[in-house]
Amino acid sequence: MTETLIKVDLNQSAYDNDMVHNRWHPDIPMVAWVKPGDDFIVETYDWTGGFIKNNDSADDVRDIDLSIVHFLSGPIGVKGAEPGDLLVVDLLDIGAMPDSQWGFNGFFSKNNGGGFLTDHFPQAQKSIWDFKGMYTSSRHIPGVNFAGLIHPGLIGCLPDPKLLETWNTREQALIDTNPTRVPALAVPPFAATAHMGRLTGDAKAAAAATGARTVPPREHGGNCDIKDLSRGSKIYFPVYVEGGGLSMGDLHFSQGDGEITFCGAIEMAGWVHLKVEVLKGGMAKYGIKNPIFKPSPVTPNYKDYLIFEGISVDEYGGQHYLDVHIAYRQACLNAIEYLKKFGYSGAQAYSILGTAPVQGHISGVVDIPNACATLWLPTEIFDFDINPTADGPTKFIDGSIDMPLSPDL
Residues within window 287-346 making contact with a copy of itself, judged by CB under 8 A: 287-311, 313, 317-325, 328, 330-331, 334, 337-338, 340-341
Least distance in angstroms from the C-beta of 231 to a copy of itself = 6
Residue among 201 and 297 whose Cβ is closer to a copy of itself: 297
- How many Cβ atoms are within 10 Å of 402's Cβ, its own excluded? 16
Instruction: Give residues 20-39 in contact with a copy of itself (rule: CB under 8 A).
Output: 39
Cα within 13 Å of Cα(75), Cβ side: 26
Residue among 137 and 191 whose Cβ is closer to a copy of itself: 137
Residue-wise over 131-146: b if at least 16 C-beta within 10 A, else e? beeeebbbebbbbbbb
Residue among 9 and 337 whose Cβ is closer to a copy of itself: 337
Residue among 205 and 298 whose Cβ is closer to a copy of itself: 298
Report the alpha-carbon distance of residue 115 to residue 60 in Å, rounded: 16
By CB atoms closer than 10 A (0-12, 13-18, 19+), residue 29 is middle
Beta strands in 82-212 (DSSP E): 86-96, 102-107, 124-132, 135-138, 141-147, 151-157
Residue among 204 and 227 whose Cβ is closer to a copy of itself: 227
Residue among 198 and 273 whose Cβ is closer to a copy of itself: 273
Report the alpha-carbon distance of residue 228 to residue 205 in Å, rounded: 36
Least distance in angstroms from the C-beta of 241 to a copy of itself = 20
Least distance in angstroms from the C-beta of 102 to a copy of itself = 11
Instruction: Give residues 45-64 in contact with a copy of itself (rule: CB under 8 A).
Output: none
Least distance in angstroms from the C-beta of 204 to a copy of itself = 25
Q: Which amino acid is it at 105?
A: N
Report the alpha-carbon distance of residue 384 to residue 381 in Å, rounded: 9
Residue among 147 and 194 whose Cβ is closer to a copy of itself: 147
Q: For residues 359 and 375, is the Cβ–Cβ distance under 8 A?
A: yes
By CB atoms closer than 10 A (0-12, 13-18, 19+), residue 276 is buried
Residue among 30 and 238 whose Cβ is closer to a copy of itself: 238
Phi and psi based region of residue 134 (left: phi greater than 0; alpha: psi -120 to 50; beta: remaining): alpha
Least distance in angstroms from the C-beta of 243 to a copy of itself = 19
Least distance in angstroms from the C-beta of 407 to a copy of itself = 22
Report the alpha-carbon distance of residue 213 to residue 184 in Å, rounded: 13
Residue among 198 and 234 whose Cβ is closer to a copy of itself: 234
Number of residues that bind a copy of itself (CB under 8 A): 128
Candidates 20-28, 51-59, 120-128, 132-140: pick the segment binding a copy of itself (CB under 8 A): 132-140
Q: Which amino acid is it at 337?
A: E
Candidates 13-21, 50-58, 119-127, 355-363: pick the segment binding a copy of itself (CB under 8 A): 355-363
Instruction: Give residues 230-289 in contact with a copy of itself (rule: CB under 8 A).
Output: 231-232, 236, 257-262, 264, 273, 275, 279-282, 285-289
Residue among 153 and 197 whose Cβ is closer to a copy of itself: 153
Instruction: Give residues 86-125 in contact with a copy of itself (rule: CB under 8 A).
Output: 86, 88, 90-93, 98-99, 101, 115-116
The closest alpha carbon to 236, from 272, 282, 273, 195, belongs to 282
Least distance in angstroms from the C-beta of 101 to a copy of itself = 7
Least distance in angstroms from the C-beta of 148 to a copy of itself = 9
Binder of a copy of itself out of 37, 80, 83, 369 (CB under 8 A): 369
Binder of a copy of itself out of 11, 16, 133, 192 (CB under 8 A): 133
Phi and psi based region of residue 225 (left: phi greater than 0; alpha: psi -120 to 50; beta: remaining): left
Please tell me what DSSP assigns to residue 16: G
> Please, which residues bridge with residue 133 across strands?
none
Residue among 18 and 314 whose Cβ is closer to a copy of itself: 314
Report the alpha-carbon distance of residue 3 to residue 56 in Å, rounded: 37
Report the alpha-carbon distance of residue 339 to residue 347 in Å, rounded: 11
Instruction: Give residues 177-216 in contact with a copy of itself (rule: CB under 8 A).
Output: 183-187, 215-216
Residue-wise over 301-312: b if at least 16 C-beta within 10 A, else e? ebeeebebebbb
Q: Is 356 in the site for a copy of itself (CB under 8 A)?
A: no
Please tell me what DSSP assigns to residue 14: G
